[in-house]
Structure 1
Amino acid sequence: MSWRDQYEMGAFRGHPFRTEYHERTGGRRVVSHEFPGRDEPVTEDLGRSQRTFSVGCFVVGAEYRAERDALIDALEKFGPGLLVHPFYGSMIVNVLSYRQTEDTEEGGMCRFSIEFVEAGIKPDIPAEADAAAAAGFEADDVLANAAGEFADDFDITDVADFVSDAASTLVTGAANLTQFIAAAQGGIGPALRAFDAGLRFLPANIQSLLREPLRLGQALVGLVSTVQALGSNGRVRVESFMGMTAFGESLKPITGTTPSRQRQAENQAAFVHLYTAAAAAELVRAASRTSFSSYEEAALMRDRVSARLDVLATRAADAGQDGRAAVFDRLRRAAVRDITQRGGTLARVHDLPIGATQPALRIANRLYGTGPGSGGVEARAADIAARNGVRHPGFVPGGVTLRVLSAARPGAGAGNGR
């Protein structure tokens, strides 16, 4: 095969680009020691240097602005991401810098010069480390490997037409479900444009993507991931991804033992796992970014997320797909560690009977006081009113039992969620 036959479009965090040039730097980390009275130095090889990749690329077309903005968001996003290098394949990298250029002589095009550096292997995370960050790393790892694993298991080469038709139906169904669930998120600006661009890309290129399963996997993972950027409510994001993990549950099992039917069944299982694994990874990430006001609130989300991921792991294990079951089990453990760590220090909710009608501010002052660690008596009063659906915080009706927070432990907080 010539280099043109092996060439693929590049992509970062699922956002594709066309490559013009690339450079790669590397080497060894060598330290030299020179000693008095000795002519020859002593050198130590400390291992391979970190590799860097310089990529010159561009986005072009009628929708280039949306693709440009989506790529910029991906380049400026926190943490490492998946780079699909057109010559070196998939790798996890960090972005050092990028330069964006647009020229009126080249209408409808935006050029980028991007400097990537390999992220390497993350160190073992000690037990006391930030579990929310660890959950995010686990999600990144699943997303980074999802497309490649899918490409190994999905194939429509030399198959009957009904096999490729069934695969096309799966792609359309996944796109429709994602569009339906994303509509509840809302979203504006670059995030919404990136989602719309990814949504249009799938059906418009479905036939070519089916014959290039790596690109199909990358496009689908990218589409699922863009849902994370829509809207600003963490709980809505969690519910959205919970719904997306149900993809495939209503699909009928493929019966028959002919080679074509077996290939159809394997393709369906691979596609369902790709979509649900991507949604599960983003579910864990969404949960790690959600804050909680009480231990009970955190425990409820922990149990719901854990139960959902356990269903996915059990379903894969029952089908004899132990490797796929392990993916969901890893995500489940990461989510449980995260939410347990952040929720364990939060205040508990308990019942408080109220005898006479009185202001929420008085109740808050009686419960929490105004000293250090009180959390702000006005904020506490607002929480009491909101938690119990009080119409006017100045008149909490008597003869009812309120749900109120106990005083949080010193230094307690809801974690780094939003």
Structure 2
Amino acid sequence: MSGTLLKVAEEYLQCSFRGIPFVVLGSSGTNGRKQAVHDYPGRDGIWVEDLGRAARSYRIVGFTVGTLCYTQRDLLSQAAEQQGAGLLMHPSIGLVQANLMRFIWREPDGRRNVVEIEMELVEKTNLLSTLIVTALHATIAVSAIALSAASSSSYQSRTATSLALGSSVITAGRNVASSWASDALVAVRSPRVQGAAVSVLDGAYGRYAGGDGSDIDSSATISSVLASLTASRATVEGAVNAFGALDSAEDIASASQSLTETLRSSVADPAAQISLLWPLASCSPAIVTSSAPIGAAIATVQSETAALCRRSALASIAQACSAWLPSSSTEAQAMTENVVALFAAEELIAADAGDDLSYQALHALRAHVAQDLLGRAAKLPDIITITRNANLPALTLAQQLYADATRADEIVGRADPIHPAFMPTEFEVLSS
């Protein structure tokens, strides 16, 4: 029985409290606000006073198994009796400093080397906002690398027979990749790139400049930013021009994946990165079907090269999403829907083609990106519509809405008025 449970334990995630590990079977928690309800004589209804966020509590059910299960039980019992908060390491909650309010253990009837445990904890300090988010972004990066490796491996194996038929087949694959790469050249020369370049500068440069998530470089100047932009454009142009000399599946795969990352790194603003990479996630060359061996091989290589290019862009889009900072829950949810739809469409193509390796990598990356974006959406304010009877100045509206006139630029950037002194009578703002 214990051997079977040991195998079962390997399928569950591990948890620990004060450094003592155990297996998690299930978890639950409570969240909310502290509310004080006040009744007053002669007044209808009640007044609810908000006293702040209530303490987060957790209930964890699990077990220890094996020859050391009783030792783990005793160590957890000692941990429960220690004074003060302890560190809870949970696979989905993250790292939490919590006080153990209740610890229950039981030995199931008729079973040896198994101890069931139950914990009730109350959070003292939540380290989730820094450590677990960083870990999730690292997971996205690892999954993006896994997608690149899977799509490269699949491309080389699925085109090996076709490419062996001659140079005309290689030329067909190279032409598809070169045509797709030319879109990157158009992207890096777009005005969006130049406008996003100033996002690293320290200061306010108007509603048409700035970024969503780019780091501020206090030493950067306009001259240095433009020089860096020129160098980045030259790098992308060189990478695009190199597609004309590709003569193997390995070279095409490497160049395609390198190009999207070169384009992403050339732009500081993650929102601009997503915008520029998005068209590259579409690649549908005109493929002529043929029953002749050479014609069929050309069609296969064209189809597989297009899939490789799309998946290269998807891997870079995922990494750009992890650095993007939405301003509202609405924006984060909309981005989640768009990204999930984009990945799901490519997953369907991979599944129909029988490319299991690429399908699994796409599915895993989509799940991690969606988890990251939805987690941030839950913590952001919503977008609401404000209506006024007159065209008021942005400073006045910022003071009325937020009691903070410094948020006038935020209102201007979202409403995009002709002049900040005459805001439209109806516009959208953040709810808080």
**TM-score for both structures, normalised by structure 1:** 0.58
Deviation, structure 1 residue 152 = 2.2
Q: Which residue of structure 1 lines up, in the alignment, with residue 183 of structure 2? A: 177
Q: Which residue of structure 1 lines up, in the alignment, with residue 413 of structure 2? A: 386
Q: Does 1:215 align with 2:251?
A: yes
Look up the SS of the partner of 1:154 in the other structure. helix
1:233–1:392 CA distance, 2 compared to 1 (3 A)? same
- 2:287/2:303 contact within 8 Å kept: no
Deviation, structure 1 residue 161 = 5.0
Q: Which residue of structure 2 lines up, in the alignment, with residue 167 of structure 1? A: 173
Q: Which residue of structure 1 lines up, in the alignment, with residue 261 of structure 2? A: 225
Q: Does 1:141 align with 2:146?
A: yes
What CA distance in whole angstroms lies between the structure 1 residues aligned with 2:412 and 2:184? 36
What CA distance in whole angstroms lies between the structure 2 residues aligned with 1:164 and 1:197? 21
- Count of matched residue positions in the alignment of Structure 1 and Structure 2: 268
Deviation, structure 1 residue 282 = 0.5
Question: C-alpha offsets along residues 142-166 of structure 1, whole Å, 9 cap, x if unaligned?
Answer: 2244433322222355415542332
Deviation, structure 1 residue 217 = 1.6
| 1:264 counterpart (281, 286, 298) | 298
- 1:273/1:324 contact within 8 Å kept: no
Q: Which residue of structure 2 lines up, in the alignment, with residue 255 of structure 1? A: 290
| 1:326 counterpart (357, 360, 375) | 360
Q: Identity rate of aligned residues, in percent?
A: 20
- 1:159/1:260 contact within 8 Å kept: yes
If each structure's helix is expressed as a fraction of its own residues, which one has the higher value?
2
Deviation, structure 1 residue 292 = 1.2
- 1:178-193 residue pairs with structure 2 within 5 A? 178-184=184-190, 185=193, 188-193=229-234
Q: Does 1:404 align with 2:406?
A: no
Query: Which residue identity lines up with residue 237 of structure 2 in the other structure?
Result: D
Query: Which residue identity lines up with residue 189 of structure 2 in the other structure?
Result: A
What CA distance in whole angstroms lies between the structure 1 residues aligned with 2:252 and 2:397? 57
Q: Which residue of structure 1 lines up, in the alignment, with residue 214 of structure 2? A: none
Deviation, structure 1 residue 127 = 5.3
Deviation, structure 1 residue 216 = 2.9
What CA distance in whole angstroms lies between the structure 1 residues aligned with 2:370 and 2:159? 32
Look up the SS of the partner of 1:402 in the other structure. strand
Query: Which residue identity lines up with residue 193 of structure 1 in the other structure?
Result: A
Query: Which residue identity lines up with residue 174 of structure 2 in the other structure?
Result: S
Q: Which residue of structure 2 lines up, in the alignment, with residue 198 of structure 1? A: 239
- 2:329/2:377 contact within 8 Å kept: yes
- 1:245/1:276 contact within 8 Å kept: yes
Deviation, structure 1 residue 125 = 6.7
| 1:236 counterpart (250, 254, 272) | 272
1:175–1:315 CA distance, 2 compared to 1 (3 A)? same
What CA distance in whole angstroms lies between the structure 1 residues aligned with 2:370 and 2:290? 37
Deviation, structure 1 residue 227 = 0.7
Consecutive unaligned residues of structure 1, counting only runs of 5 or more, are: 1-123, 370-376, 408-418
Deviation, structure 1 residue 330 = 2.2
Look up the SS of the partner of 2:386 in the other structure. strand
Q: Which residue of structure 2 lines up, in the alignment, with residue 54 of structure 1? A: none
Query: Which residue identity lines up with residue 243 of structure 1 in the other structure?
Result: P
What CA distance in whole angstroms lies between the structure 2 residues aligned with 1:306 and 1:237? 17
Query: Which residue identity lines up with residue 343 of structure 2 in the other structure?
Result: L
| 1:279 counterpart (281, 303, 313) | 313
- 2:394/2:420 contact within 8 Å kept: yes
Consecutive unaligned residues of structure 2, counting only runs of 5 or more, are: 1-89, 95-131, 195-227
Between stretches 335-344 and 383-392, larger displacement belongs to: 383-392
Query: Which residue identity lines up with residue 235 of structure 1 in the other structure?
Result: A
What CA distance in whole angstroms lies between the structure 2 residues aligned with 1:386 and 1:327? 38
Deviation, structure 1 residue 173 = 1.7
- 1:12-411 residue pairs with structure 2 within 5 A? 126=92, 128=94, 129-130=132-133, 131-155=136-160, 158-160=164-166, 162-184=168-190, 185=193, 188-203=229-244, 205-206=245-246, 209-210=247-248, 213-247=249-283, 249-252=284-287, 254-256=289-291, 258-369=292-403, 377-397=404-424, 400-407=425-432
What CA distance in whole angstroms lies between the structure 2 residues aligned with 1:135 and 1:183? 28
1:336–1:146 CA distance, 2 compared to 1 (3 A)? same
Look up the SS of the partner of 2:420 in the other structure. coil
1:312–1:125 CA distance, 2 compared to 1 (3 A)? farther
1:363–1:234 CA distance, 2 compared to 1 (3 A)? same
1:250–1:174 CA distance, 2 compared to 1 (3 A)? closer
Look up the SS of the partner of 2:380 in the other structure. coil
Q: Which residue of structure 2 lines up, in the alignment, with residue 107 of structure 1? A: none
